[in-house]
Amino acid sequence: MNDLYERIYDIVRSVPLGMVTTYGHIAQVIGSRSGARLVGWALNAVAVSDRTDIPCHRVVNRLGELSGKMHFETPFVMRERLEAEGVTFNAEAVDMQKHLWIPSDKL
């Protein structure tokens, strides 16, 4: 499991500044099309560790919603970090047409 988590973290580290990806897109790259929950668990593990090198705030659900926001210092931190990187929102969801980055299986 640790190797799989590290693979997930490598993908998350690859998400460009000002862009987001989804749990499902990461799951697809690691070969688990239905593994979005696994990706969420891996990112939750970062929240309880001292790792600051993994930009978990750049991973959103398929609708662009900040479903992981409760795992940050406050429920507002995730959005604040994204906005500081230039990510725009349509109400409560990231503007996915502008900011979606789809990882490649070549990562």
Q: How far apart are CA 77 and CA 36, in angstroms?
A: 22
pLDDT tens per residue, range 12-32: 999 999 999 999 999 999 998
- 84 noted as active-site residue: no
Residue that the structure tokens 């959005």 belong to: 79
Q: How far apart are CA 26 and CA 8, in angstroms?
A: 7
C-alpha to C-alpha distances, 6 to 62, 91, 96, nearest whole angstrom: 22, 33, 26
Mean pLDDT, rounded, of the chain: 93
Which overall architecture, per CATH, does domain 2-99 show? Orthogonal Bundle (1.10)
Catalytic entry in 11, 56, 78, 87: 56
The per-residue pLDDT for 106 is 66
Q: How confident is the model at residue 107 (pLDDT cuts 50, 70, 90)?
A: low
Average pLDDT over every residue of 57-81: 95
Return the domain boundaries, the chain: 2-99
Q: What's the distance, CA 20 to chain centroid?
A: 6
Tell me the H-state helices in the chain: 2-14, 23-29, 36-47, 77-84, 96-99
